[in-house]
Amino acid sequence: MADVRAQSFFGVEWYQVVGSSILFNLIINSVVPHMVLAATSSVTSFKAWFVGYFELAPTQSSLNRLYAKRSSFNLEGRYAFVLTTVFICNSFSHVMPIMPWLACFCFTLLYRIDKNNIVNYYTDVAEKKYGAQMAHAAAHLFPGSCLLHCLVGIVLGELTA
Amino acid sequence: MSLIFAVKTHSKALKPTAVCDNEIDYTYEMSLETSHNHECYCMTKGMEDFEHCSEVFYSLLYSYSASFITAVINVVLAVTIKKTASWQLWKSLSSERAVVLISTFIAQFINTCVILVAVELDWTSIIGFNFLSYLPSFSEHTSSHHDPQGEGGGGEERRRGGAKGQQGENNRLFSRNSFGSSLRSSNIPLTTYH
């Protein structure tokens, strides 16, 4: 009976429908924000080139602003992404052992791209001097992922016992 | 949120989930026998016989495109939460950002995995009733979406007016009336190949 219930929860169909979708969602979620940034920066660069080439800027200062326009570093978005990835990977690492490796991939990608962008693209990183609230909020949420990890492990152990 | 839920459920209902045996070489003739064989044949040799397997291919394409929709919705959620946070008039920018962080995390976590798991769970065995019963599950589609020998295994019987034929007819009608069955119930040419 327990095996039947475990099969119904984490059977082959579950992996094909839910498991693969969660993995795919995580990979897409780790790539899409950077693609959005790349797209917006491309549009901005093209716009600056277009305005400069055809001399459409009314003043030199407006042209300078257009060239200097950069995207702002979204620290809370990075925190949210890291928390989401950690929660999902911790929750399903019992049933999908690839999850920790996927988390490593997502965080490595985030680190590499952000490192490059902070050095070359973002201009407001040094200007933003936030308090510790964001770090405290993230630190308070983190233990919840361990709780979820244990909960899923207990449920899985109960089903397969 | 209901839009996300509908997209996930719809994509799940369309996604092929046949458990295929790797040791079996699924042939075209076998694919004509049952929907299971059809899905296995298309998942192993779909590119070689695209015209025959276009239905399965588009189902897979749609189900995976739902992941892109999820990612786009995540971006939209993050931007919306960030824009609306300033309306709450927090005392400091750090507090506002902390609230944005928590809200974005909760929204993205629910959108990315909680809805997906909730759609799949067998609620009847957990809480005694299925509050999602108005939505279709994939298992309701798999038995009838593709049965070329007579829409439910009763083609010959239906022509004779037998009970099995009536069941096949019912399956066919159910398949066509179900949510998300447009791709499943599309006509697949049976005799134009080989």
Mean pLDDT by 10 residues, chain B (194 residues): 57 59 70 72 66 70 76 87 88 90 92 83 72 54 43 41 43 38 40 38
Say what the pLDDT of residue B106 is. Answer: 93
Q: How near does any CA of chain A get to the CA of B156, in Å?
A: 32
Residue A15 has pLDDT above 60, yes or no: yes
Please tell me which residue, B181 or A159, carries the higher pLDDT value.
A159
Say what the pLDDT of residue A51 is. Answer: 84
pLDDT tens, residue by residue, A39-56: 888 888 888 888 888 877
Q: CA–CA separation, A136 vs A140, rounded Å?
A: 6
Please say whether the beta carbons of B109 and B147 come within 8 A.
no
- Chain A touched by B113 (CB under 8 Å): yes
List all residues 6 or more positions away from B84 whose beta carbon is below 8 Å from its beta carbon. none
Question: What's chain A's average pLDDT?
Answer: 83
Please tell me which residue, B169 or A157, carries the higher pLDDT value.
A157
Residue A79 has pLDDT above 80, yes or no: yes
Say what the pLDDT of residue A7 is. Answer: 56
Give the dihedral sign, CA A24/A29/A35/A39. Answer: positive
- Chain B touched by A80 (CB under 8 Å): yes
Q: How near does any CA of chain A get to the CA of B192, in Å?
A: 31
Q: CA–CA separation, B185 vs B188, rounded Å?
A: 9
Say what the pLDDT of residue A80 is. Answer: 93
Chain-chain contact of A83 with B105 (C-beta, under 8 angstroms): yes
Distance of CA A148 to the CA centre of its chain: 20
Say what the pLDDT of residue A83 is. Answer: 94
- Out of B12, B19, B71, the one facing A32 most closely (by C-beta) is B71
| 3-class state of residue B194 by DSSP | coil
Pair of tokens at residue B70? 């999820």
pLDDT tens, residue by residue, A121-137: 887 777 778 888 899 99
pLDDT tens, residue by residue, A93-110: 988 899 999 999 999 999
Chain-chain contact of B72 with A88 (C-beta, under 8 angstroms): no
Distance of CA B97 to the CA centre of its chain: 37
Say what the pLDDT of residue A161 is. Answer: 67
Please say whether the beta carbons of B28 and B193 come within 8 A.
yes
Please tell me which residue, B2 or A90, carries the higher pLDDT value.
A90
In this structure, what is the dihedral angle of CA atoms A148, A11, B143, B39, given to the nearest 10 degrees? 110
Give A5's contacts in chain B (Cβ within 8 Å).
125
Say what the pLDDT of residue A61 is. Answer: 81
Minimal CA–CA distance to B68: which of A29, A17, A81, A80?
A: A29
